[in-house]
Structure 1
């Protein structure tokens, strides 16, 4: 009798649970089309700044609060009245028209007065000079005398002083530098700069259609095997006196990475790399003579990455040495070297990836860092370890991805953490692993009352059994286990450029497509960064192959699970993701049926020297690799439907790539969709950007959902 009552009670609870689930609210137009999830989620407070090692300012609901990390106490923060009424005398450089002005207090003092634009104006660390480039020469202005100094005098269309050659900007120094190729020493006594001779680089012609006769641009763009810029490394006093050239031969086939000044400005460390990009040597260069001495040397069987952010080396303030990051072991780790460059000891070791150094406590000999471990490669956790490599300890708690804000001396940290199923929370902790205070939860009061699509991280074993491949899946709401659903796979796919992280995310499009019955997936292959340089090196001389093998394995898992419609597997991506899409619709056409490709490389002989040769070598030493990685090689296998999109004046991945691909499809009498965007470079906005979004929406509805796109989804 008691057993029957127990069973009856369970039945009632089950019915109640199902009833409650059925009564959950559905999202409305505000959420779907305006991404307004107010009440479902809410903003976390913002950390304004640290006041000192145990106090910080938190902004919440429009007010600032001072938080005491020692006990979690908070009080409304009022800006102190120290020096109230005085005006800052910190100099600031502004641009009006094409000229530079020094803004000091409320006065703007003119520094230049000509028609030519001053580019990348950069103050010296001591605030006494400003350096910039003009018409491809390097200049400075002494802010005390207002005298302009023309430091170099041979700038031209092909000789660039302090202004990067295109391939250096794009691949070595980074677009965020806006072509800047000069660097102040910490003591403000020298400027290091690159002088690039682009004379031998072939000219690529870019055309567009506006006006009566169209528009033509020319670009010095080295494709694989082409001559690269000839680069010299110079050092000069800020008034333009005494240019010293580092003792390299600019005629050698080589690259230079971003140089580092030593913290005291005593010498310049120059990253040198051979054309094959498998040998990195950091030279210490004498700023008075240009003489160089080897400081660090690394060789790998595949390639070595240049450092474009200045983070490879971190010097100790006590001048005992420096911490260097390297993935030569197969995983990115930290190493302690003395000031002469000699290795003292490895700080971290093992099959995990260090992602960032947060702080070095030199007094205690402790390094605080974030890392992705094999326990879950889709998460960042926070650790500390002694500089001697002992006593590594994880500081974050639970199964979450963490973003860390550490106090100035490393006593406390604020972690913002989430996973695929849990919205972000913010917590204050001590570096002794003690929770001090919960600061915020982005889960709103209505979160549990709405029927939201489920997102989860799934691991699929690779075909060769070597890797547990991660994918992030958002399932349709109210899934019917007896129904098969179309799949939309979004990828980038480049080397060490994964997109799958165990983090929370919600937006209107995601939820709408889940309601419409679309399985939405992002995937990472073995070379995406989850498995260290060991995994990434699989791509060496073989772009396309392992990416597509692994993507295909994950799609097949979805099909075998019974939820995916094998006739509606769509892949989409831009740039390298566009290449992946084109390659999927050709090489892997038995798996992928539809694709939307933007700004795509379609043959690696058409892309730039530095990026391509790093992974592929040259066509001369890797002819089979270039052949097998080309989309055109596999075009005859194409049997689905692809939408190819490209910017007409794309100066990164030339539209030549897409034109050659669709020309091949035309020759093969294959159907496809093509949309060029006049005025579009490697991405575009405005009305054309809206048109592009609508184009993709219509493609999804036409081929995957098999109905017209609702007007509410079109912008």
Structure 2
């Protein structure tokens, strides 16, 4: 579908469509019996409000299961501050139905809308509101479909009957700062755990988190543009300070309460919880320094825990999606770093080898495990940036790939699977968006018989990304190079260079997909050669590659940007006398670091929402990589930017949203003060009312234009 406004420029379209995600299908679930696929999608590429849809796998026909406009009577959504904060944590920018949960049969879906509770019968498509105390968060039906549990912004965990006959408080906070059934800030922001409670397979109990954030330091986020407004108070666990105290309880519908007992002093982080019919509940708990962790089994009658597996690592231990988990017959599934590779382990044996870098587990069947992986042996990879879905037998003897073209090396693929039905989403760099195919397993389990393709209503970008992928230099740094559309080397000569990295942990930018590269292509079309390089510390290569930045952000990540630039200049028309760098968040940190420490290579920088003082960033992320500030003060000093302020020789623009509660504006203000004290001119662009996501259309559009203008003037000077 094309834009309704033919005069759309890329910055306007990119901002308005939330990076072309509006109208694209997402959040897929296959019903346990394989009869239907459930998903979210808005009506068009210009409508941010998601509807709940189903696809009948027998016929391939789609139908609307819940329409927020109808349920709200055409009224606007009213989001609580807690829901807005939760969406900020999950980087959720859309509207309408943004999440849902199913009962055990996959027939009943529950979801929150405007802080109210709704359920829909997926067999009939009839939706209705249930009595509930709002504003509420994260409603989830019991497996038997008789109840829906939900959390409230007041800290309660409540239950309501799906027949509408009763609603009551199941667990109530007994003091300020306490919440039941909600993931705490650190879990949401850094562990990718947004759940705070889990139903038992028999629907008779719940595992519920009890979090107490009273030990956490309070910060205040002011709105300087509106001095009459009171600052917003947030509990922010900065590096070296106290975290929330997190416990776990087994709550029975018969009124019984049992506290789960583990060594919380040694392992305070509750990173993962899994409860299935394959065995007792599983917990993954981590030490504060994340260099040791345990997988625990829980006795739901007594709350006692048993150590099923323990791990240690000199650098840190990663947390992965989908594990730990049980197979249906009771074997433990996990992902671990073993023999220099990131391996999938089923029971006592690794079932993948050094040729794969396993990233997550997607589904576990009676015989197979579905997982995502990228190349583990970089020297043998034909292309950087591929991500594939593999399915492997539990003994590791049979591996096949769920990729659109039969090969795992030229796309980014993910999937969901249940009951012999697979929903596969595949993106390729030569095609906008992703193709979503629904297929049924054939007897051999290798080929998928296509049932349907789920349409995307996302707008077609007004430009086309043309990445050229390379492994750069001796370290074979994954890179993507973009030249201006219509560029002719003989006519146009060498080009000024714009490095466009994220460059940090959990931020892979070089991927075999189209839409993630549109921003870089647009900058290239303004007259630059743009380079995106994923140096050491970024995911997708090997444990050693990721962990080589331990205690040294400022060294390896910056060196790899400079080395990739030098290596690519041997092939591409790069003017090394005119090199700028831009980035956001960690990329903003890296951009500012580049002009402060390597002005010989980088001649201008735009740093968006940069971390400038790592003692101002949160515990779980910062201490994982840099250690505890009280134990390694020299590491924090060496990796923060303020100490390098006197060395600024190049033009630097710093951009920061004043409402950012992730990387707070104090980061930019402290760096600016240090630069001013050192007599170093620089530019600061404060964004009133803007968070870390910069969701406002006008802001997102104009930020691109302002950056181009600044970089062109800086390199011309």
Q: 1:102-251, aligned counterparts within 5 Å?
A: 108=128, 111-112=131-132, 117-134=135-152, 135-143=154-162, 146-174=165-193, 177=194, 180-238=195-253, 241-248=255-262, 250=264
Aligned to 1:556: 566
The gaps in structure 2 that reach 5 residues or longer are 1-5, 15-22, 45-53, 64-104, 456-461
Closer, same or farther: CA 253–198 of 1 in aligned 2, 3 Å: farther
Cα distance in 1, alignment partners of residues 548 and 260 from structure 2: 36
After superposition, the C-alpha distances for 1:132-175 in whole angstroms (9 at most, x for unaligned) are 2331122222445733332333344322222233223222344x
Closer, same or farther: CA 703–94 of 1 in aligned 2, 3 Å: same
Aligned to 1:379: 386
**What is the SS of the residue equivalent to 1:379?**
coil
Cα distance in 1, alignment partners of residues 272 and 488 from structure 2: 52
Cα distance in 1, alignment partners of residues 711 and 577 from structure 2: 14
Q: 1:679-698, aligned counterparts within 5 Å?
A: 679-686=689-696, 687-698=698-709
Cα distance in 1, alignment partners of residues 36 and 220 from structure 2: 57
How far 1:591 moved relative to its partner?
A: 1.2
Aligned to 1:261: 275
Closer, same or farther: CA 571–253 of 1 in aligned 2, 3 Å: same
Cα distance in 1, alignment partners of residues 30 and 247 from structure 2: 42
Residue pair 1:136, 1:155 contacting (<8 A) in 2 also: no
After superposition, the C-alpha distances for 1:364-390 in whole angstroms (9 at most, x for unaligned) are x45454432233242234545443233
Could you tell me the TM-score, scaled by structure 2's length? 0.76
How far 1:541 moved relative to its partner?
A: 1.4
Closer, same or farther: CA 184–424 of 1 in aligned 2, 3 Å: closer
- Equivalent residue for 2:623, pick from 608, 613, 622: 613
After superposition, the C-alpha distances for 1:657-682 in whole angstroms (9 at most, x for unaligned) are 11000111111111111111121121
Q: 1:391-470, aligned counterparts within 5 Å?
A: 392=399, 396-397=406-407, 400-403=410-413, 416=426, 418-419=428-429, 454-461=466-473, 465=474, 467-470=475-478
The gaps in structure 1 that reach 5 residues or longer are 1-27, 37-43, 69-75, 81-87, 338-342, 443-449, 707-715
Q: 1:215-364, aligned counterparts within 5 Å?
A: 215-238=230-253, 241-248=255-262, 250=264, 254-263=268-277, 267-307=280-320, 309=321, 311-317=322-328, 319-337=329-347, 343=348, 345-357=349-361, 362=366
**Structure number, greater radius of gyration:** 1
**What is the SS of the residue equivalent to 2:548?**
helix
Aligned to 1:83: none
Cα distance in 2, alignment partners of residues 458 and 385 from structure 1: 30
Whether 1:479 and 2:488 are equivalent positions in the alignment is yes
Higher alpha-carbon deviation: 481-490 or 293-302: 481-490
**What is the SS of the residue equivalent to 1:326?**
strand
**What is the SS of the residue equivalent to 1:257?**
strand
**What is the SS of the residue equivalent to 2:354?**
coil
How far 1:55 moved relative to its partner?
A: 12
After superposition, the C-alpha distances for 1:35-74 in whole angstroms (9 at most, x for unaligned) are 79xxxxxxx99999999999999x9xx9x99999xxxxxx
After superposition, the C-alpha distances for 1:227-256 in whole angstroms (9 at most, x for unaligned) are 2212211110136x1211011355566211
Cα distance in 2, alignment partners of residues 529 and 286 from structure 1: 36
Aligned to 1:388: 395
Whether 1:602 and 2:612 are equivalent positions in the alignment is yes
**What is the SS of the residue equivalent to 2:340?**
coil
Cα distance in 2, alignment partners of residues 413 and 96 from structure 1: 26
Number of residue pairs matched by the alignment: 627
Cα distance in 2, alignment partners of residues 604 and 65 from structure 1: 47
- Equivalent residue for 2:714, pick from 695, 700, 703: 703
Closer, same or farther: CA 130–698 of 1 in aligned 2, 3 Å: same
Aligned to 1:667: 677
Closer, same or farther: CA 191–592 of 1 in aligned 2, 3 Å: same
Q: What do you get for the CA RMSD once the two structures are aligned?
A: 4.4
Could you tell me the TM-score, scaled by structure 1's length? 0.76
